[in-house]
Amino acid sequence: MSQYKKVLVAIDLSDESNQVAQRAQGIADNSDCELHIIHVIEPLSFAYGVDIPMDFSGLQDEIQNQATEQLKRFSEQNSIDQDHQHIVLGRPEVEIHAMAEEISADLIVVGSHGRYGLALLMGSTANGVLHGASCDVLAVRVGN
């Protein structure tokens, strides 16, 4: 196996995120490399469409603030430096690819629920990250 220099772990801040982070931490420790963490917040307009005449900015700000605090606590528990914590707004697979490029990651670690059939066709972040990544991707099976 090649020697990784920068590992980017993508988490959704669910209970299963610990499994994903622990796998990434193990790889980082064995390879003596930098570990970065990213959490992507999907804009509410993606979920509810842009045709709804509502102002989501206050709610979106609250979601961002809560996610920032959760990521900070999660990172402290997993010994991830503050300058290696990234929280961004957008589509997860797009933002994970962009961050991997920005930090020159040579491995992305994501969680995967092992969906298949229609659930996979409807979209899986792990699948989206795998297709289009310019570096290795490790999908950690979670939720089993």
User: What local confidence, expressed as pLDDT, does residue 54 receive?
Assistant: 66
User: What local confidence, expressed as pLDDT, does residue 144 receive?
Assistant: 60
What is residue 105's three-state secondary structure?
A: coil
- How is residue 93 written in tokens? 């697979």
pLDDT confidence band for 36 (50 / 70 / 90): very high
pTM score of the predicted model: 0.85
Determine phi and psi for 116, rounding to 5 degrees. Answer: -150, 170
Please name each of the domains of the chain with its CATH number: 6-141 (3.40.50.620)
User: What local confidence, expressed as pLDDT, does residue 141 receive?
Assistant: 85
| Arithmetic mean of pLDDT over the chain | 85
